[in-house]
Amino acid sequence: MTMFKQIKQKLLKKRASPQTKGLILVEDVATAMAIEKLLQGHGFSVKGVAPPPHLRKGCDLAVEFDLVEQMAIERILNKTNVSYEISPLNTNEPPLEITKIKEINGYILVRAANMKVTFDKNTAMIVNVSGGGCPDVPFLAQNLMGKRLEEAMVVMEKGHSLCAYMLKRAIEKGLELLNENH
């Protein structure tokens, strides 16, 4: 990432508030996941979020972005066949938090929607993966057990379902927690 993009992202994070955020609303989860990946590939700081219920378009996942980047984002999206709608957020309707954290006897459980990952607080070793009902979850769980959180993202590249997406979000939140504490 260029120095300009790093500075721009830091400035946007400092200014970011619900009034400066927008949501890309779509009809299905797969489209939301694809848009998030596409825009991240173009260097935008975006993330999948649960939109407020009254903004949902048949999908419990939307992509949050900084409104100052709306024109550039729309230029990219308009080159695709994706049907989307953009809605600005205000302070009365922030997106719902997807991840929840619980500490239990030296372990940290991070839940994202219906997916959960538990890891040792000191070693960052994954000790349990649970939840979901998607066909790739048993494969992912088997390959994540005993790995450190830092190694988990390589495994997550093989997941393609909503469950895998949520499990990836839980792992990212776990990594964020580890980085805050070290």
DSSP state, 88?
Answer: E
Q: What are the tens digits of pLDDT across the range 24-75?
A: 999 988 899 999 999 999 999 999 998 888 888 777 889 999 999 999 999 9
Boundaries of every domain in the chain: 3-88, 99-181
Is pTM beyond 0.85? Reply is no
The total of other beta-carbon atoms located within 10 Å of residue 45's CB is 17
User: What tokens does 42 get?
Assistant: 């173009």
CATH code at 3-88: 3.30.70.120
Mapped onto helix, strand or coil, the DSSP state of residue 108 is strand
User: Which CATH architecture does the domain made up of 99-181 adopt?
Assistant: Alpha-Beta Complex (3.90)
Confidence grade of residue 19 (pLDDT, cut at 50, 70, 90):
low
Between CA 111 and CA 138 the distance in angstroms is 17
More confident residue, 116 or 1: 116
Mean pLDDT of 154-163: 88
In sequence order, what are the beta bridge partners of 117?
110, 129
Same fold across 3-88 and 99-181: no
130: buried, middle or exposed (CB in 10 Å: 19+, 13-18, 0-12)? middle
Between CA 8 and CA 10 the distance in angstroms is 5
- Measure CA of the first residue to CA of the last residue in the chain; give whole Å: 24
User: What tokens does 25 get?
Assistant: 């609303």
Look at residue 89 in the predicted model and tell me its pLDDT: 84
Please name the helix (run of DSSP H) or strand (run of DSSP E) that holds residue 179, with its range, or none. helix 162-181
Inter-residue contact 132 to 167 (CB < 8 Å):
yes
Between CA 84 and CA 62 the distance in angstroms is 10
Residue 17 pLDDT exceeds 60? no
Between CA 136 and CA 1 the distance in angstroms is 32
